[in-house]
Amino acid sequence: MSSSTSPPTPADEIVSSGVVTADPYLAPHAPVLAARHAAYAKTKAAIEATSGSLTDFALGFNTFGLRRTDDGGWRYTEWAPAAAGLALVGPFNSWDVDAHRAEVDEYGVWRVTIPPHTLAPGDVVKTAVQMGPTAVHGALGEWHHRIPAWIERVEQDPETGAFHGVAVDSASEDYQWQAPRPVAPPGPGATEEPLIIYEAHIGIASEELAVGSYAHFTANVLPRIAALGYNTVQLMAVMEHVYYGSFGYQVTSFFAASSRYGSRIELKSLIDTAHSLGLRVLLDVVHSHASKNVLDGLNGFDGSDAGYFHAPPRGDHPLWDSRVFDYSQLEVLRFLLSNLRYWIDEFHFDGMRFDGVTSMLYTHHGVGMGFSGSYDEYFGADACVDTDAVVYLKLANELVHSLAAASGGSLVTIAEDVSGMPTLCRPVDEGGVGFDARLAMALPDMWIKLLKEVPDEEWNMGHLVHTLTNRRFNEATIAYAESHDQALVGDKTIAFWLMDADMYTHMSVLTSPTPRIDRGIALHKLIRALTYMLGGDGWLAFCGAEFGHPEWLDFPREGNSYSHKHAPALARPSRPAYVSAKHEADKIIAFDVSHAVVVFNFHPSSSFESYRYGGHARNALDTVFFSEPVPCGGRDHSILVYSPSRTVVVYKLRTVVVRAAKRPKVTLESLDLPGVRDEVAEMEDNEVVSAIEAMVLRMAHEILAEKGLTYEVPSRSSSNQQFVPELNRMVLKSKTTIRDFTGINSVRKTAITTRVLQLIHELCSKGIHVTKRDLFYTDVKLFEKQTDTDDILDDVATMIGCTRTSLNVVASEKGVVVGRVSFRDAGDLIDCTRMGVGGKAIPPFTDRITDIESDAEFILVVEKDAAFMRLAEDRFYNTYPCIIITAKGQPDVSTRRFLKRLKEELNLPVLGLFDSDPYGCRIFSVYTTGSKNLSYDSASLATPDIKWLGVRPSDLDRYNIPEQCRLPLSDRDITACHQLLKEEFIKCNPEWVKELKLMLKTKVKAEIQALATFGFTYLSETYLPQKLAAGDWI
């Protein structure tokens, strides 16, 4: 008998080539993973059959709920399959259920139209639902009031305390968004900056004994969050929840921003302001369950015990006393997916943190489960996984990520999951569930358990390291030391567990600290630092925890007489580190990360003045850092470190770029060179106007004297240029040419010169700036080509004796800057550490730049945009404090002037990163010695003494650049090399000559991108650090 197997399905192939390839241990469970993915594909196909696409399906908020019609009326739509009747009621129709009765279709969707001039924005509304045969929340035929399920505003009656819906015309709000989303925001991926999350509850993020507000948070808390170095804000309790003490986790109205904190516009302003500060904002989404409230929640909305939820007992969450969604129903999916899109589209949230994902994934909700990590717990016959919930989460993640491009930035999803389910944070198209990261929920549990049960002198270093680093490979994790749950009443914060009542009596400057306070402060710092550095790919801190919130949090409730007393709350995580020292007796944990050595000493009393450490064999620092030839830990080299008791010390290899001592400035005038033209100068608008008028007056006199119209123009030809070694830049010599109307060869140039002088006079008289392109289009027929007007602009500048920027004509923005510098541009503060991957465009009007401040150690000029983006995305300037600049190829005037200003005002050394080819060298020379075309303005454009860091021809063998990444020199390249060797500025630098001759000898070239053959982050994590450490520049 022959046997046969079924051919693989698309889901089988996706899982096999995706998550199973990434984790071969999943292979035995591939059929289960494929079945779940097939269920997702089937549901998605059903959605697309009805709505065209998943993103369109998630636009339910445009159809359901209360929506304004074109004629000024309203349309109300609601899903209530078990209802016998439905109406929209309120004071606007005297609560009359017959005034605006809805009609139902075969799917249980009710619709009613409210005529114009009947209902106004701000009016109170409720849904009247007539109980049907399956009703359990009222007798058959009775009418009961509910709050509309899709309502966008819910308010509480100050007299009765009851909640009601409010009619909102969101389209007419017309909020004018000012700041774009962070264009390339941080994320949990291996090549992105980690998420540094500040988790906040609007109502308690205040020192006042009252509920905080959106406006207060915007004005007082957001600036502090940005100043502390966080890049993400996660907002809790935004969706409306009737019971304030639920911390926002008993949601009653999913589309309504909580009105207790303020208006919808104020929430939008909060998010807009966050974006302007470079912060992304995540929404804490609760789709794992909903409030059991009937009068003001979704429970029993249509009178039945099901509707949006499973019928009991499956629809009841025993631990949370709440209702569980039925993810198998299409209308439930529409409601939840539309809810996600609504907050992204309407309020510009940048992603979501999904609450209670463990509860969603399993029919047992994780209650009483101690997940061991065995794959059978997730994929075995007894796994109790809710496939419908898995399907919903896949759809949710796909939706959010598909909306990213339309939103102008990336969107992030984070799962609160304690089970550790594999594939949860792998992409949907690989067969995963699709989250970007999960919360490391085991970490705060470990710390609280240790603080409660184990003296710190008995803490096991191996256990700490194992728990902190035990996470799924290639699935990002957000670390945190304590959760908001532990800060709530009934438990204690870490600070309170450590110091308890001594905080009230011995933390003042007026009293001496006790040993408990000294121990507590030290351990509080160590716990957070170790978790921050080893615990994950990102970091989260709950509001108030940044300064060790001392007690607990408690919301105003009946049990505390509605007191607000305990309601006010108010570096970078590493990539996986290699922990190579865990010494139990010494209580030492040491590891290498981010080109630094980190040493933790948890010992209560022992300090070590000379603790030998050799790092890990995979350490990229090698003997550059571990400089002593003394074996340690299996390595040939090591160093001695100082490790005081209960401290952490970070040893970082500092950049050895030394700022040059300021020397007396050599000027062209001081050299007194014969036959050289005077330097041009910066001129004010009125000075340029006067110079042009004097020139025109002189020409008028010549015309009256019958001498004709002529211009004397300084020659900018190659023969009239000179390299001055003392200045290390090009200058213009004194030769001039005569341009007049009588010569047939010069009449057109003379006419263009006259027209350009007229336009410059107008610009400077009015004090306005234009681009070169604008100038060209003022007289296209005369100018014909923009290159002609560009040349004349340079001629006019030399004739007047001013810099080209003094003419108020600039090039369009080209160059960009990112890194450790801030400045004001026309009064606006620009912080270049918060400019994302794209950087800040260098303003064309560099004269308007003021208040330049920086803590950088050097400036890095990069030839190409690709290398710039790599360094910006890797936040290289945080590891090696620097300012990174690129003009994306041949440098424009604004970029060169900006670099010159930074160099002079900050007195910083400048390093160059250029391709190892003749054109990279030529571009480098334009930065450092000036271009021949603009030699007359080299004083303000050239930045002498830029060091050539790389990529140099000698690097190709030194760094083992593969042959396939080396390109042969073309004949044109060889000619360009020979021309460069003839240049005076090259002859003055023997090291440059040596590199160019090596290029000619090997006849090969290479681009910066060739370094990516060793990995995309090789440039920022290996090549440049080694170069800087060795001082390898010329």
Neighbours of 608 (CB within 10 A): 17
Mean pLDDT of 650-658: 61
Residues with Cβ within 8 Å of residue 490, at least 6 apart in sequence = 552
What is the rounded average pLDDT of the residues 202-230? Answer: 85
Residue 407 above 80 pLDDT? no
Q: Which residue has the higher pLDDT, 661 or 728?
A: 728
Percentage of the chain beyond pLDDT 90 is: 39
With cut-offs at 50, 70 and 90, classify the pLDDT of residue 545: low
- Residue 292's pLDDT is 93
pLDDT at 329 over 50: yes
> Quick one: average pLDDT of 413-425?
94
Please list the alpha-helical segments (H only) found in 582-684: 622-625, 668-671
- Inform me whether the pLDDT recorded for 338 exceeds 90: yes
Please give the pLDDT value at position 238. Answer: 94
Segment 865-908, tens digit of pLDDT = 888 988 988 888 888 889 999 998 888 888 988 998 898 888 88
What is the Cα–Cα distance from 831 to 43, expressed in whole angstroms?
Answer: 46
Per-residue pLDDT reduced to its tens digit, 80-128: 999 999 999 999 999 999 999 999 999 999 999 999 999 999 999 999 9
- The model's confidence at residue 573, banded by pLDDT at 50, 70 and 90, is very low
Mean pLDDT of 43-67: 95
Candidates 82, 57, 48, 105; CA nearest to 334 is 57
Q: Across the chain, what does the average pLDDT equal? A: 85
Q: Which residue in the block uniquely carries the two structure tokens 């359901």?
A: 64
137 φ, ψ to 5°? Answer: -115, 30
Structure tokens at 1022: 């290996």
More confident residue, 556 or 492: 492
Give the mean pLDDT of 830-834. Answer: 86
Residue 451 has pLDDT above 50, yes or no: yes
So what's the pLDDT on residue 161?
87
**Higher pLDDT pick, 480 / 679:** 480
Bridge-partner residues for 724, per DSSP?
Answer: 729
Question: Which of 319-323, 568-572, 1021-1025 has the weakest average pLDDT?
Answer: 568-572
Indicate whether 665 pLDDT > 90: no
Sketch out the chain's domains with CATH numbers.
Answer: 578-652 (2.60.40.1180), 668-810 (1.10.10.10), 816-1030 (3.40.1360.10)
What confidence category does residue 244 fall into, taking pLDDT thresholds of 50, 70 and 90? confident
Write the DSSP symbol of residue 917.
Answer: S
Q: How many CB atoms lie within 10 A of CB 263?
A: 15
Using CA atoms, how far apart are residues 424 and 444, in angstroms rounded to an integer? 21
Give dist(CA 1024, CA 676) in Å, integer: 41
Q: What is the pLDDT of residue 672?
A: 73
Q: Categorize the per-residue pLDDT at 268 as very low, low, confident or very high, splitting at 50, 70 and 90.
A: very high
Q: Is 393 exposed, middle or buried (0-12, 13-18, 19+ CB in 10 A)?
A: buried
Segment 138-157 shows an average pLDDT of 95
Out of 143-147, 273-277, 438-442, 654-658, pick the least confident: 654-658
Quote the pLDDT of residue 360.
96
Instruction: Taking each helix axis as running N to C, give the angle between helix 990-1002 and helix 918-929, from 0 to 180 degrees, rounded to the nearest 10.
Output: 160
pLDDT tens, residue by residue, 580-620: 778 898 999 988 775 678 899 999 999 998 888 876 544 44
pLDDT of residue 578: 61
Binning pLDDT at 50, 70 and 90, where does residue 490 land?
low
Region 229-244: mean pLDDT is 90
**What residues pair up with 134 in beta bridges, in sequence order?**
none
Mean pLDDT calculated for residue range 640-644: 87
Does residue 566 register a pLDDT over 90?
no
- What mean pLDDT is predicted for residues 336-348? 96
Query: Can you give the pLDDT at residue 552?
Result: 43
**pLDDT number for residue 638:** 79
Helix 330-347 and helix 387-402: axis angle, to 10°? 30
Mean pLDDT, rounded, for 135-142: 94
The vertex-734 CA angle with 731 and 740, nearest 5°, equals 120
pLDDT of residue 404: 84
Which tokens hold the place of 247? 């911390």
Burial 940-959 (b: 16+ CB within 10 A, else e): bbbbbebbbbbbbbbbbeeb
Rounded to the nearest 5 degrees, what angle is found at the Cα of 307, between the Cα atoms of 302 and 312?
115
What average pLDDT does this structure show over 355-362? 95
Q: Choosing from 777, 880, 936, 959, which is the catalytic residue? A: 777
Least confidently predicted of 508-517, 568-577, 745-754, 1006-1015: 568-577
pTM reported for the whole predicted model: 0.67
Q: What is the pLDDT of residue 335?
A: 98
Q: What angle do CA 751, 754, 755 make, to 5 degrees?
A: 90
Residue 567: pLDDT over 50: no
pLDDT bucket at 487, cuts 50 / 70 / 90: low
Whether the pLDDT of residue 405 is over 80: the answer is no
The first and second tokens of residue 572, run together, are 């970078």
List beta partners, residue 739.
711
Mean pLDDT over 540-558 rounds to 57
Q: What is the pLDDT of residues 850-870, one digit of tens each?
A: 888 888 889 999 998 888 988
* pLDDT of the residue at 234: 95
Instruction: Identify the H or E element spanning 714.
Output: strand 710-714
Instruction: Give residues with Cβ within 8 angstroms of 183, minimum separation 6.
Output: 408, 409, 836, 837, 838
Q: Find the range with the poorest average confidence among 45-59, 350-364, 472-486.
A: 472-486
Specify the pLDDT at position 21. 87
pLDDT higher than 60, residue 304: yes
Spatial distance between the Cα atoms of 1030 and 655, rounded to a whole number of angstroms = 9
What's residue 619's pLDDT?
44
Indicate the range of 556-560, 687-691, 780-784 predicted with least confidence.
Answer: 556-560
Displacement of CA 717 from its chain's centroid (Å)? 48
Q: What is the DSSP letter of 598?
A: E
- Asked whether residue 560 carries a pLDDT value surpassing 70, the answer given is no
Condensed to tens digits (0 to 9), the pLDDT of residues 1000-1027 reads 988 888 888 888 777 777 888 888 887 8
Residue 959: band (very low, low, confident or very high) from pLDDT cuts 50, 70, 90: confident
Q: What is the mean pLDDT of residues 30-41?
A: 95
Beta carbons within 8 Å of 1019's beta carbon, 6+ residues apart: 867, 870, 871, 1008, 1011, 1012
Residue 491 has pLDDT above 80, yes or no: no
φ and ψ at 1005, to 5 degrees? -135, 170
Spell out the alpha helix ranges (H) of 380-536.
387-402, 404-407, 442-453, 461-469, 484-487, 494-499, 502-505, 515-534
What does DSSP assign to residue 679? P
Please list, in sequence order, all residues whose beta carbon lies within 8 angstroms of the beta carbon of residue 1020, skipping any fewer than 6 positions away. Answer: 870, 871, 874, 876, 879
Q: What is the pLDDT of residue 179?
A: 86
pLDDT, greater one: 283 or 563: 283
Is residue 510 very low, low, confident or very high in pLDDT (cuts 50, 70, 90)? confident
Q: Which stretch of 159-168, 392-401, 606-615, 897-906 has the lowest confidence by average pLDDT?
A: 606-615
| Distance in angstroms (rounded) separating the CA atoms of residues 803 and 821 | 26
Residue type, 632: C
Is 1018 considered catalytic here? no
Backbone angles phi, psi at 613, to 5 degrees: -140, 135
